Amino acid sequence: MPFVASHTQEVHDLAAAPPSDGPEVVIVGRSNVGKSSLINALCNQRQLARVSTTPGRTQALHFFAVRDPKIRGVQFTLVDVPGLGYAKAPEAVRKRFVPLLHSYLDGREGLSLLILLVDSRREPGDIERGILERVLRRGVPMLVVLTKLDQVPRPHREGRAQQVAKALDLPRDSIHGASTLSGEGIDDLRRALSDFVRDLNLRGDDDPTD
């Protein structure tokens, strides 16, 4: 069953971001990797996040309130950030992209999980490794989603996942695959997100300092 979600705020300055009242899951990737399409697929809402054929159309932090209607208490904030790499936007706007993202990744108190999107047809590079290094320094959990999985022949998919895991120095089980066109992997990703938030809530309930 799809998540239930609504867009809550668009932010061009981290100081204007809403309070961190619960778990936040940020989706990061290169321009045109399919961030907005994945958000829409997870929530089964075609217009929830703006989709464009022009790379770099996301030019702010977008916050979405999300809940799993099947599991009581599983609710979190999903954050869509500007795409990395090429962005067809004015230079002054592009210069704000990376500092805005780095400020979020380095200092956002509620950041609980990073989802790094990698085009399943491409090799991850310095951009992806740089993002992972930032969140791993903070001890933030992460997972990788290979997007556009329908464009990789089925017999080659496991090999691609292993190659990406090796390139990013990550365990194979942290690599997921998904296609917003065919729907493959979307339910599995929903399940992984719900399980993560549920477990996070359980650990919080068990915290003896509360």
pLDDT digits (tens, 9 = 90+) for 81-128: 888 876 566 676 667 778 888 999 999 999 999 999 999 999 999 999
Per the domain annotation, does 205 fall within a domain? Answer: no
Q: What is the CATH number of the domain that holds 12?
A: 3.40.50.300
Q: Does the residue 210 lie in any domain?
A: no
Nearest-10 Cα torsion for 8, 3, 111, 48: -40
Average pLDDT value for the chain:
89
Judge whether 209 lies within some domain.
no
Q: Which residue has the higher pLDDT, 79 or 203?
A: 79
- The angle, 0 to 180 degrees and rounded to 10, between the axes of the packed helices 186-205 and 35-43 is 80
Q: What mean pLDDT do residues 32-41 have?
A: 92
Question: Is 204 part of any domain?
Answer: no
209 falls in which pLDDT band (50, 70, 90)?
A: very low
Closest listed residue to residue 173, CA positions, set 162, 182, 184, 181: 162
pTM: 0.90
In terms of residues, how long is the chain? 210
Question: Which band of pLDDT confidence, cut at 50, 70 and 90, is reported for residue 77?
Answer: very high
Tell me the per-residue pLDDT of 150-176, one tens digit each, with 9 for 90 and over.
999 999 999 999 999 999 999 999 999
Number of domains in the chain: 1
Q: Does 206 map to a domain?
A: no
Q: Which of 35-44, 87-96, 133-142 has the lowest mean pLDDT?
A: 87-96
**Is residue 208 a part of any domain in this protein?**
no
Unique residue bearing structure tokens 């705020």: 9
What's the domain range around 85? 4-199
| 3-state secondary structure at position 138 | helix
Residue 96 lies in a domain: yes
pLDDT of residue 208: 42
In a domain, 89, yes or no: yes
